[in-house]
């Protein structure tokens, strides 16, 4: 060693290091602690020295030290409860066993206080390499401090204001050269002529060295180069130390090439995301324009249908056509309401602080984005059907699971997760590795952004249904039986329930019990009208607060489909008239009186029949349709 050579050199390095350093003997008691460690822990030397690792308040750290006494090195980054001061710190810890010819004779504990850094770090999670410093010996002997210096995981230099006086073995590895190539050289010899910001390396190095000698520790990014002149990014910490009365600098160099590559990748991903958001925003604007035009066309169509209905009284044929037009007008209201409601849902996302939603997403780290992606994907799926009872049970189980996992105020969080289709068995995987205080924000962000796709899917289905209803008018008028196909009643029920999702999710319990074979042959558009009309009547009967039972079962050669509600029932005095054209018990403008009449005609055309039973608290409509094995003529 060309520089200072005695045990005091390593003692000074140990004491003046900005990193917290401790030494435990083979019994696990603290025998050495530098000033940085005492400052981090807010404790005096008298209360630290002699403390056993088994007495530490934080069981995670004490277990790591126990492993170290068994010869196992380990790392830890996270919260740490101090034993003496009772503080909760964010730390990075490295435990290294110390060996001699007899085996493990002690443990070194190296740690950094990350509490303030954690509060101020921004979007990028800076991964710092652990400082692996080994130190041997139990007392103030040169070997223990030399081991600490030479076993560090980062390059460490001792230098004066011009040249390097000493370096550790990691320096040779990092710079691709021998110790002899480094001692006597200056920092500029291992740097390109110009730094990335355009400043000459010699000028910038001089500024940093002088500032460090003035008592201001320096931590900064630097572009170094190896002996073969290949560049690499590094983080440099300069600290003034005094060795044998002489002021020197201790330089710690960390290779951060991996971090820089990660930052560049994140920057590219953010740019790509911003471009996709811009494109998606334009698509949504175009969709909104399309929906507005469609809504206007549908309203015009409704006005035309109502005008035509008034003229059909002039003749028998026109009367029949008037029934159909009025029925179509009645059925178009349902998808029109779904389109308007969904359009409002999409616009509500943009009326919120959507830039905040994007910023929240950009602030997520890699693991958080994977979790966000799983939740977003679940929430974007168009639900096959809606079952409010099942959702309430799922929401309760999720809320209890979150409470057991230590999430405070989990009511709103459990509602979002349940509505996104998350099951309780998904929770452990979603919360794994995610900070509890950040998980609600992550779920809320995914919920709001995925809502755009959910509402868009409802609009697509509703607009398609409206178009099919209009086409049904022509089919019915000309008695056109084209389009007969195999129909699964369960799928049609699911479609209708989905279109009513927003109206019934808070107050209606839906119970479904369908036969495994629920297939019939017929015209899907017309049968969908039947189910939509019966279910809509049931919802209105219970004022969207109550229970709805949907069931199918086989009797002889028929599939019987029943729709049951627990509303007030149909008064006996009008039960004989409910299938009459133009008869309605609804307020003016709410119904044409043709809904059940059209349902009966559609069912009869499918060689089936419809009947009902009603009493206070229970009304059941039954539709009898031939099973698929029976050919429709």
- Each residue of 50-78: pLDDT tens digit? 888 888 888 888 898 899 899 899 998 88
Question: Do 553 and 614 share a domain, yes or no?
Answer: yes
Q: What is the mean pLDDT of residues 312-318?
A: 33
- Confirm whether 340 is domain-assigned: no
pLDDT for the residue 341:
73
Out of 361-365, 405-409, 420-424, 455-459, pick the least confident.
405-409
- Confirm whether 533 is domain-assigned: yes
Q: Which of 114, 132, 166 is the last residue in one of the domains? A: 114
- 419 HSE (CA, 13 A, CB side): 18
Average pLDDT for the chain: 79
Condensed to tens digits (0 to 9), the pLDDT of residues 441-487 reads: 888 778 777 777 777 877 777 777 777 666 544 444 443 445 788 98
Sheet hosting strand 155-159, strand order edge to edge: 164-167, 155-159, 246-255, 231-243, 218-225
Highest-confidence segment of 328-337, 464-473, 535-544: 535-544
**CA gap 58, 337 in Å, rounded:** 59
Question: Do 550 and 621 share a domain, yes or no?
Answer: yes
Q: Which of 114, 141, 158 is the last residue in one of the domains? A: 114
- DSSP letter assigned to residue 79: E
Question: Do 596 and 493 share a domain, yes or no?
Answer: yes
Question: Do 423 and 484 share a domain, yes or no?
Answer: no
- Confirm whether 595 is domain-assigned: yes
Q: Is residue 153 scored above 90 in pLDDT?
A: no
Out of 469-483, 538-552, 581-595, pick the least confident.
469-483
Q: What is the mean pLDDT of residues 502-506?
A: 65
Give 269-311 as a DSSP string. HHHHHHHHHHHHHHHHHHHHHHHHHHHHHHHHHHHHHHHHHHH
Q: Is residue 126 scored above 70 in pLDDT?
A: no
Question: Do 489 and 451 share a domain, yes or no?
Answer: no
pLDDT for the residue 179:
87
pLDDT for the residue 117:
72
Please report which helix (H) or strand (E) contains residue 320, including its range. helix 316-351
* Residue bearing the bigger pLDDT, 528 or 318: 528
- Confirm whether 457 is domain-assigned: yes
**CA gap 146, 224 in Å, rounded:** 26
Question: Do 489 and 622 share a domain, yes or no?
Answer: yes
Q: Which of 90, 114, 138 is the last residue in one of the domains? A: 114
* Residue bearing the bigger pLDDT, 41 or 153: 41
Give 81-147 as a DSSP string. E-SSS--EEEEEEEEEEEEETTEEEEEEEEEEE-HHHHHH--SS---PPP-------SSS-HHHHHH
Q: Is residue 585 scored above 70 in pLDDT?
A: no
Is residue 301 within 8 Å of 470, Cβ to Cβ? yes
- Confirm whether 608 is domain-assigned: yes
Condensed to tens digits (0 to 9), the pLDDT of residues 71-113 reads: 899 998 888 888 877 888 888 889 999 988 888 989 988 888 7
CATH number at residue 591: 3.30.565.10
- Looking up tokens 């090439």 gives 257
pLDDT for the residue 565:
94
Dihedral sign (CA 459, 463, 468, 470): positive
Percent of the chain residues topping a pLDDT of 70: 80
- Confirm whether 171 is domain-assigned: no
Question: Do 374 and 437 share a domain, yes or no?
Answer: yes
- Confirm whether 287 is domain-assigned: no
Specify the 3-state DSSP secondary structure of 527.
helix
Is residue 113 within 8 Å of 89, Cβ to Cβ? yes
Question: Do 592 and 621 share a domain, yes or no?
Answer: yes
Tokens of 488: 């699964």
Out of 191-205, 255-269, 367-381, pick the least confident.
367-381
Structural domains in the chain (count): 3
**CA gap 54, 63 in Å, rounded:** 8
Question: Do 537 and 456 share a domain, yes or no?
Answer: no
Condensed to tens digits (0 to 9), the pLDDT of residues 228-249 reads: 889 888 899 999 888 888 889 8
Domain that holds residue 417: 364-466
Out of 105-119, 204-218, 379-393, 482-496, pick the least confident.
379-393
Can you state the percent helix, strand and coil of the chain, rounding each to 5?
A: 50, 20, 30
Specify the 3-state DSSP secondary structure of 361.
helix
Tokens of 498: 């989905």
pLDDT for the residue 594:
64
- Confirm whether 501 is domain-assigned: yes
pLDDT for the residue 43:
86
CATH number at residue 36: 3.30.450.20
Question: Do 522 and 574 share a domain, yes or no?
Answer: yes
In this prediction, residue 590 has a pLDDT band, given cuts at 50, 70 and 90, of: low
**CA gap 199, 202 in Å, rounded:** 9
Question: Do 458 and 520 share a domain, yes or no?
Answer: no
Q: Which of 138, 217, 159 is nearest to 4 (CA)?
A: 159
- Looking up tokens 């996709």 gives 276
The three-point CA angle 168-170-171 to 5° equals 70
Is residue 475 within 8 Å of 525, Cβ to Cβ? yes
Q: What is the mean pLDDT of residues 573-586?
A: 78
The three-point CA angle 21-22-24 to 5° equals 155
Question: Do 585 and 505 share a domain, yes or no?
Answer: yes
**CA gap 578, 584 in Å, rounded:** 7
Region of residue 330 (left: phi > 0; alpha: psi -120 to 50; beta: else)? alpha
């Amino acid at each position: 060693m060309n520089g200072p050579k005695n045990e005091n050199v390593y003692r000074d390095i140990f004491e003046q290091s900005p990193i917290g350093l401790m030494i435990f003997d083979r019994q696990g008691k603290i025998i050495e602690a530098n000033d940085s460690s005492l400052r981090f822990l807010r404790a005096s030397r008298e209360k630290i020295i002699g403390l056993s690792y088994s007495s530490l308040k934080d069981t995670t750290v004490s277990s790591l030290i126990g492993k170290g006494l068994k010869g196992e090195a380990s790392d830890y980054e996270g919260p740490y409860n101090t034993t003496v001061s009772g503080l909760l710190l964010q730390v990075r810890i490295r435990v290294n066993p110390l060996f001699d010819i007899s085996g493990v004779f002690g443990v070194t504990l190296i740690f950094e206080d990350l509490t303030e850094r954690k509060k101020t770090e921004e979007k990028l999670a800076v991964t710092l390499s652990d400082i692996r410093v080994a130190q041997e010996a139990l007392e103030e002997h040169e070997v223990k401090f030399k081991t600490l210096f030479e076993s560090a995981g980062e390059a460490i230099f001792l230098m004066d204001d011009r040249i390097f006086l000493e370096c550790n073995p990691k320096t040779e590895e990092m710079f691709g050269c021998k110790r002899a190539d480094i001692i006597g050289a200056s920092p500029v010899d291992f740097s390109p002529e110009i730094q990335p910001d355009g400043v000459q390396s010699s000028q910038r190095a001089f500024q940093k060295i002088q500032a460090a000698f003035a008592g201001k520790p320096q931590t900064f990014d630097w572009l170094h180069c190896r002996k073969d002149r290949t560049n690499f990014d590094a983080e440099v910490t300069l600290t003034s130390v005094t060795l044998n009365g002489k002021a020197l600098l201790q330089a710690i160099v960390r290779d951060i090439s991996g971090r820089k590559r990660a930052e560049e990748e994140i920057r590219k991903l953010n740019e790509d995301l911003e471009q996709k958001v811009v494109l998606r925003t334009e698509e949504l604007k175009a969709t909104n324009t399309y929906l507005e035009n469609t809504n206007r066309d549908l309203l015009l169509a409704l006005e035309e249908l109502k005008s035509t209905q008034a003229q059909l009284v002039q003749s028998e044929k026109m009367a029949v056509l008037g029934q159909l037009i009025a029925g179509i007008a009645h059925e178009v209201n349902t998808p029109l309401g779904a389109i308007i409601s969904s359009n409002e849902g999409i616009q509500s996302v943009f009326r919120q602080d959507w830039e905040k939603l994007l910023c929240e997403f950009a602030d997520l780290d890699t693991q958080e984005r994977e979790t966000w992606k799983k939740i977003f994907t679940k929430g974007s799926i168009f639900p096959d059907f809606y079952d409010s009872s099942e959702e309430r049970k799922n929401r309760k189980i999720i809320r209890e699971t979150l409470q057991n996992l230590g999430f405070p105020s989990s009511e709103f969080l459990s509602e979002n997760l349940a509505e996104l289709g998350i099951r309780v068995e998904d929770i452990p995987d979603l919360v794994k590795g995610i900070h509890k205080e950040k998980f609600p924000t992550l779920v809320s962000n995914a919920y709001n952004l995925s809502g755009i796709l959910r509402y868009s899917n409802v609009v697509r289905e509703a607009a398609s249904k409206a178009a099919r209803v209009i086409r049904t008018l022509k089919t019915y008028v000309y008695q056109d039986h084209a389009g007969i196909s195999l129909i699964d009643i369960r799928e049609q029920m699911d479609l209708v329930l989905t279109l009513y999702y927003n109206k019934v999710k808070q107050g209606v319990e839906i119970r479904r019990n369908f036969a495994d074979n629920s297939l019939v042959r017929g015209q899907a558009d017309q049968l969908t009208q039947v189910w939509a009309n019966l279910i809509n009547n049931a919802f209105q009967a219970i004022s969207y607060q109550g229970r709805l039972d949907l069931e199918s079962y086989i009797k002889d050669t028929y599939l019987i489909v029943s729709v049951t509600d627990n509303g007030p029932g149909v008064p006996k005095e009008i039960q004989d008239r409910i299938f009459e054209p133009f008869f309605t018990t609804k307020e003016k403008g709410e119904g044409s009186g043709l809904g059940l009449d059209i349902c009966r005609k559609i069912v009869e055309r499918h060689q089936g029949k419809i009947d009902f039973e009603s009493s206070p608290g229970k009304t059941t409509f039954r539709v009898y349709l031939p099973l698929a094995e029976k050919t429709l003529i």
